[in-house]
Chains A and B, each alone.
Chain A
Amino acid sequence: SSSINNIRSNRRTFSSLGGGSGGGGTGDSNGNAFLLPGATVATILMLGALHGRRLYEDKKIEEKRERGIELEFHQDVKASFLGILPLRSISRAWGSLTSVEIPVWMRPFVYKAWSRAFHSNLEEAKLPLEEYASLRDFFVRSLKEGCRPIDPDPRCLVSPVDGTVLRFGELKESRGMIEQVKGHSYSVPALLGTNSLLPMVPEGKDESGEEAVGDKGDKSWLRVSLASPKLRGSISASPMKGLYYCVIYLRPGDYHRIHSPADWNALVRRHFAGRLFPVNERATRTIKNLYVENERVVLEGIWKQGFMALAAVGATNIGSIQLFIEPELRTNKPKKKLFPTEPPEERVYDPQGQGVKLEKGKEVGVFNMG
């Protein structure tokens, strides 16, 4: 009680002196002096603890993976917390920040730091680093000629992007479901849109005898509705076709332009204004229907083997998806309210039935920040 009295009397003395800001060793100004460093140290300690916990969890996951244990879907607090954040606004703010023009002399330093942090290959950039006015410009850089040779084999499909293969396979007995992670799948019509051109029954198969991909009773699978009956005719019924899928994840440091995987005609474009959850490996394990919820642009059409669809799915830091065949398309636009079941904005490319011809390996679009 004596020390409390002491502090009180000190405080009184200080106030009677009119609270001067001068030093002179009054207890209160000392308290103030410790406030800022104390808060800084506390913040650093908290960030350190969070980072340490993240490293520990990553280590445990790695150990499980090495033991061949496949990680299962497991929603957690962080995923629920992400659900309440205004991720689209955060993404647009990030886009504005990265569009700020950088002084010429600083650009090499900034882009080298980015490439060191995200393992980008600066040697492949088409232009000198000084010519990329902002981080956003640098992010959508083209590459030097010859950096991405296209596999010439006419009987192959090539990767449309740089990235990591997450999932791939045939949609056979899986009823058109793609596994996001063990324990959770999403349906192909949910990804591409319920009025997709997708012929869900592998052609050449007898519908009545075998189980079709999708249950006959569940009409939503099999309904192929097109803007015009003529389009329907454009997908020729050729024998012995299977339906395949491949999911490729692009890391922040990867080259982010999207190329055509084969010679095909894009007939329809669908834009789903959606959430912008992160799509990293952790998010695939903790956020349900990640690719169906997120903002995405789907191109659908036909190639010599039948149906082809390419879905470009955005993420928090990459909310913009631009199509070179439709430059006026804008994604991640401010919206008052976002209804998860909001139908996609659809456009049938002219001429109907032919659409836009895309050559194997040619640039189709680009992901961008914000």
Chain B
Amino acid sequence: STVVLVFQAPTGNSPDGSSSSSDYRFCVKQGDRVRVGQALGRWKEE
């Protein structure tokens, strides 16, 4: 079985498209084994 998550999160993209530190960033890689409760990604609140 499979679970697909789709969600909005902060993106600090400025109009010129460069990302900023408050971007949501995934902290997993493709193929990683994850467990319930483990962080998939974080953002920083500026």
Contact = CB atoms under 8 A, between A and B. Distances in A.
A binds B: yes
Interface of A: 148-151, 153, 155-171, 178, 188, 191-192, 198-199, 202-203, 240-250, 255-259, 261-262, 279, 291, 303, 305-315, 318, 321, 361, 367
B37 A313 contact: no
B1 A247 contact: no
A242 B5 contact: no
B21 interface: no
Interface in B28-46: 28-45
Contact of A150 (B7, B29, B37, B41): B37
A275 B2 CA distance: 14
B42 A256 contact: no
B20 to A, nearest CB: 9
A72 to B, nearest CB: 16
Contact of B9 (A244, A258, A311, A315): A244
Interface of B: 1-13, 23-24, 26, 28-45
B44 A261 contact: no
Nearest to B35: A162
B6 A307 contact: yes
B8 A149 contact: no
A149 B7 contact: no
B11 A242 contact: yes
Q: Which 6 A-B pairs have the closest CB atoms?
A: A242-B11, A306-B8, A150-B37, A148-B36, A156-B39, A159-B34
A199 B38 CA distance: 27
A165 B1 CA distance: 13
B34 A248 contact: yes
A161 B3 CA distance: 8
Contact of B11 (A164, A240, A247, A313): A240
Contact of A244 (B33, B38, B41): B41
A72 B5 CA distance: 23
A309 B4 CA distance: 8
B34 A313 contact: no
A243 B34 contact: no
A361 B35 CA distance: 11
Given A158-B37, A159-B37, A165 B31 contact: yes
